């Protein structure tokens, strides 16, 4: 079972050798490494190009298209049955792919395999992600981008959505795999290392961009969100109650701000406009059932 490690790169040449080295150090033997130069403005050094050549890395070049299109381009050219997207500034532990492929081989309905993670760079603590849970993932992404999935599932869902203009493309993609009724497995071991820098793309999102991304994600997975509307309304009510809390602690203040942003995202989304109609339908069904019971 060949595994293709797809590494999009936009100007992160100074980190790329670390990512590729971690991919080459895998205990699982049947892998290929594909680097996609996503229209970088900076030119890689001759030393780096020679390094990639000695590691048998396939280097593809495209015009600047963004992470979704870059990943799709790399996966389209991949020979592997399984895919592992890896950002150019991140790293994986030597046994990650071996342990993940075992899960895919043993459990036919597996759709996503990921693991515990740790920061490195400007911080070095563990990345404390809550365990995967559905339908909570409709609100928050608990799966980082460097998780393994089947190429055939990527084909079935049409790949990463290019309409996620600002980001969250991995969150959106995981929802696509989940819609296939596939299972998600988390390896309880730190096998992924996420570089944390002050200029991280995810730290630059504005509140408006977050709202637009949430709305787009809801549109991309309209049926999934509609099917779980009761849960969403319940969570919305919980958020509102938390916002009424008055606490001086800074951590709680940050959490409350996150909740405010999330509520604004929901209230601004086209999906949220279904709320009133859904409540009217539920009320009509109750009245109809009550009427039918009285006639009997």
pLDDT in tens, 102-125: 999 999 999 999 999 999 988 889
Average pLDDT for 73-78: 98
Q: Are 8 and 74 in contact (CB under 8 A)?
A: yes
Q: Which domain holds residue 144?
A: 3-204
The span from the CA of 261 to the CA of 23, in Å, is: 37
Residues 249 and 175 in one domain: no
Q: What is the CATH number of the domain that holds 112?
A: 3.90.550.10
The model's pLDDT over 197-226, given as tens digits with 9 standing for 90+, comes to 765 555 567 777 787 888 888 889 989 988
Of 9-23, 262-276, 281-295, least confident by mean pLDDT is: 262-276
* Chain position carrying tokens 């299109």: 69
* Chain position carrying tokens 């592997």: 80
Residues 136 and 35 in one domain: yes
Q: Are 247 and 253 in contact (CB under 8 A)?
A: yes
The span from the CA of 191 to the CA of 170, in Å, is: 18
| C-alpha angle 51-52-54 in degrees, rounded to nearest 5 | 65
SS3 at position 165: coil
Residues 267 and 137 in one domain: no
The model's pLDDT over 119-129, given as tens digits with 9 standing for 90+, comes to 998 888 999 99
Could you say which of 152, 175, 204 is where a domain stops? Answer: 204
pLDDT at 194: 96
Residues 219 and 146 in one domain: no
Q: What is the pTM of this model?
A: 0.81
Residues 193 and 239 in one domain: no
Residues 190 and 279 in one domain: no
pLDDT for 256 beyond 60: no
pLDDT at 124: 84
Residues 152 and 236 in one domain: no
Residues 195 and 219 in one domain: no
Q: Which residue has the higher pLDDT, 160 or 140?
A: 160
The model's pLDDT over 81-90, given as tens digits with 9 standing for 90+, comes to 999 999 999 9
Residues 191 and 250 in one domain: no
Residues 225 and 179 in one domain: no
Could you say which of 169, 204, 239 is where a domain stops? Answer: 204
Mean pLDDT of the chain: 85
The span from the CA of 4 to the CA of 75, in Å, is: 8
The span from the CA of 210 to the CA of 271, in Å, is: 15
* Half-sphere exposure (Cβ direction) of 295: Cα atoms closer than 13 Å: 6
Residues 170 and 273 in one domain: no
pLDDT at 4: 98
Could you say which of 204, 233, 258 is where a domain stops? Answer: 204
| Phi, psi angle pair for 77, to nearest 5° | -95, 0
Q: Which residue has the higher pLDDT, 262 or 24?
A: 24
Residues 223 and 290 in one domain: yes
CB atoms within 10 A of CB 212: 19
Domains held by the chain: number = 2
């Amino acid at each position: 079972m060949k595994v293709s490690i797809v590494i999009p790169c936009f100007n992160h040449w100074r980190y790329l050798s670390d990512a590729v080295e971690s991919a080459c150090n895998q205990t699982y033997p049947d892998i290929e490494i594909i680097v996609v130069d996503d229209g970088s403005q900076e030119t890689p050094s001759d030393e780096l190009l020679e390094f990639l050549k000695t590691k048998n890395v396939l280097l593809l070049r495209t015009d600047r298209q963004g992470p979704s299109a870059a990943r799709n381009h790399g996966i389209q050219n991949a020979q592997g049955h399984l895919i592992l997207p890896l950002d150019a500034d991140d790293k994986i532990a030597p046994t990650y792919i071996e342990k993940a492929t075992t899960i895919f081989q043993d459990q036919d309905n597996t759709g996503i395999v990921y693991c515990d993670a740790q920061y490195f760079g400007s911080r070095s603590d563990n990345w404390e992600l809550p365990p995967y849970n559905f339908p909570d993932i409709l609100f928050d992404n608990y799966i980082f981008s460097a998780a393994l999935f089947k190429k055939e599932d990527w084909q079935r869902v049409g790949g990463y959505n290019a309409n996620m203009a600002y980001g969250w493309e991995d969150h959106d993609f995981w929802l696509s795999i989940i819609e296939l009724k596939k299972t998600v497995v988390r390896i309880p071991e730190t096998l992924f290392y996420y570089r944390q820098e002050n200029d991280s793309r995810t730290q630059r999102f504005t509140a408006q961009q977050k709202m637009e991304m949430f709305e787009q994600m809801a549109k991309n997975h309209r049926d999934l969100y509609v099917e779980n509307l009761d849960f969403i309304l319940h969570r919305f009510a919980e958020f509102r109650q938390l916002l009424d809390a008055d606490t001086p602690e800074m951590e709680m203040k940050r959490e409350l701000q996150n909740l405010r942003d999330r509520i604004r995202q929901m209230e601004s989304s086209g999906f949220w406009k279904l709320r009133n109609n859904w409540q009217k339908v539920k009320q009509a069904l109750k009245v109809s059932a009550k009427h039918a019971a009285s006639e009997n």
